Amino acid sequence: MRVVPFLTTTTAVVATVTATVAALAVPAVAVADQAQAVHGRQIQVRRDHPDVRVPFVVKRSGEALIDLDAAAPGTDWAVKGGESAVVSIYVDNRYTTDLVVSGDQPLHRQFALGGVGAGPHQLRLRFAADRSAARSTSVRLGAVKVTTYAPGSTEYLALRYAPIVHGRNNAELGSPYQNATTDTPLIAWHESGPGTAPGRTKLTYSLVWSNEDGGTNTPALMARWGRTTDIEWIYDVEVDEHGRRVAGSDTYQAANHETLHFSGKYEGDHALLETCTSNNNMCDQVTDPMRFFLSALQTRPADQAREHMMDTNAWTYQIMSKEMIREGKIEVASDTTPATPEVSDQRNYLYAVVKKTTDRPNTGSSWVGVSLGVRLKSGDTVYVSNHVDPTWSIQRDDPAATTVELPSGTTADDIEEITANRVVAGTDNGAVLHVTGIGRGFLLGENYLPQQSFLSWNGDVSLDQATPSSVIWRR
């Protein structure tokens, strides 16, 4: 047994907190107990070595989060057989979560530890050799911090009901530990809104996976969703004015995107779910040995696309891109051309968010959507987001992410203008589209991380049968 001592204890009192669950009668001041932290000291969790034990003290009972920077030398998410090393995290010998670590550069991660009482506790960090790449030998952890959020805070309610997601073990897709190598859960968040009765609040939890092995194909993901990660809501629950779960109110997104009432088990107030389809839908019966208790502390601004959560966790784009390389879903460099729908190097794309409304409902197999077009300074060719496939245009009226494939080597400075295009799928119902904004636009850098956004536009451009296309941004 190896024990790593903590050095200091601090308590943080956070005032002026954004009311994540505004409808609940809770104090305006959220109290966070920031437990002892390792300052400037690196923890190394090694294969075939004793577990590392780290003591910490909690001053106020509540829901705990752990923040840390993690790196695994010798691993690379782009390399088959060398994808990751996994650390299993325990609190007082209670298994809480797996931490999948890839690459030798530290990434900041945040996980939930569940409810902890006031007093002394111990983290136990185990190198999970059974679910780590054979060539991996260690994981380096730095800036470790445990924070508890006490009852009476808005953060506490969001954390209290966050689900625990077990891994996927579909036999046709690999081992019981397949989420250590494919479709790994990356980040989670919560949103809140009114419930079905006065005084109730609905909490909805969503998750980002590194990809989906089933479901929408890769080119369509890039065109229709602006990424190759998979983003799904996984669980929701209603709470009353006292913050108590309304019995029978919780549902989850099951196979075929069906919404079912949750009938599984809880750990405290945390529903136990499992990723059980190739496109990352949920089951409420748990069998897989891996476990992901991602922090749901983050929330998405109502006026932002879901991909905003990736933008604020930029490393998710890097993991996304490396998985595509390893799984052979990227065109061979010598065959790369924007004229084909196959996905090229993901650094060749403009990543944009478009805002638009449609003056009548888009229903059934026929609808009217929008694509974005890009013209470069070097010529008259217009590269379109949907690759001229009407079904790959943007149908939804929420802020929607999309991508436009550009010639290899294109930079932001090469882009001359952006057009919005009315696209008919099936029969034209005469819908008029109002394009009202471009939320952001960036390319990925050499390291597959988003570069600075250079594109922003707000206005109101009408697209109809007579005027199906319009320039909305020009350099």
CATH (domain of 462): 2.60.60.20
CB within 8 Å of 409: residues ≥ 6 apart: none
Q: What is the pLDDT of residue 17?
A: 24
Same domain, 291 and 383: no
pLDDT score of 5: 56
Tell me the C-alpha distance between 39 and 56, whole Å: 13
From CA 291, how far away is CA 272, in angstroms rounded?
Answer: 10
Q: How many CB atoms lie within 10 A of CB 129?
A: 14
393 lies in the same domain as 294: no
Q: Which of 279, 311, 343 is the last residue of a domain?
A: 311
Q: How far is CA 212 from CA 65, 92, 116, 197, in A?
A: 27, 34, 34, 36
Query: What total number of domains does the chain contain?
Result: 2
The model's pTM is 0.92
What is the rounded CA–CA span in Å between residue 126 and residue 391?
47
Kindly state whether residues 80 and 170 are assigned to the same domain.
Answer: yes
Is beta strand 85-91 parallel, antiparallel or unpaired with respect to 94-101? Answer: antiparallel
Q: Which of 405, 373, 351 is nearest to 219 (CA)?
A: 405
In a domain, 319, yes or no: no
Query: How much is the pLDDT for 113?
Result: 98
Please tell me whether residues 120 and 218 are part of one structural domain: yes
Place of tokens 């530990």: 177
Is residue 326 assigned to a domain? no
289 shares its domain with 388: no
SS3 category, 327: coil
| 125 lies in some domain | yes
Q: Are residues 234 and 137 in the same domain?
A: yes
Let me know if residue 327 belongs to a domain.
Answer: no
318 in a domain, yes or no? Answer: no
Position 160 scores a pLDDT of 98
Same domain, 268 and 408: no
Q: How far apart are CA 337 and CA 49, in angstroms?
A: 49
pLDDT for res 8: 31
Q: Does some domain include residue 450?
A: yes
- Do 232 and 91 share a domain, yes or no? yes
Neighbouring C-alpha atoms within 13 Å toward the C-beta of 276: 17
Q: Are residues 236 and 339 in the same domain?
A: no
Q: Using 50 as the pLDDT threshold, list the residues of the chain that sit under it.
A: 7-31, 36-40
Q: Is residue 440 part of a domain?
A: yes
Residues 215, 219, 224, 230, CA torsion sign: positive
Cβ-in-10-Å burial (0-12, 13-18, 19+) of 388 comes to: exposed
Task: Judge whether 148 lies within some domain.
Answer: yes
- Phi/psi-derived region of residue 420, left when phi > 0, alpha when psi is between -120 and 50, beta in every other case: beta
Task: Determine the 3-state secondary structure of 234 from DSSP.
Answer: strand
pLDDT at 192: 97
Question: What would the pLDDT profile of 103-149 be if each residue is shown by its tens digit?
Answer: 999 999 999 999 999 999 999 999 999 999 999 999 999 999 999 99
Look-up of token digits 């319009």: 470
Q: What is the residue range of 413's domain?
A: 332-474
Residue with tokens 């190759």: 228
Q: What are phi and psi of 54, to 5 degrees?
A: -125, 115
- The pLDDT of residue 187 is 98
**What's residue 1's pLDDT?**
60
Whether residue 286 sits in one domain with residue 209: yes
Whether residue 358 sits in one domain with residue 281: no
Q: What is the pLDDT of residues 358-401, one digit of tens each?
A: 999 887 889 999 999 999 999 999 999 999 999 999 999 999 99
Residue 307 · residue 226 · CB < 8 Å:
yes
What's CA 223's distance to the chain center, in Å?
18
d(CA 235, CA 206): 7
Same domain, 340 and 299: no
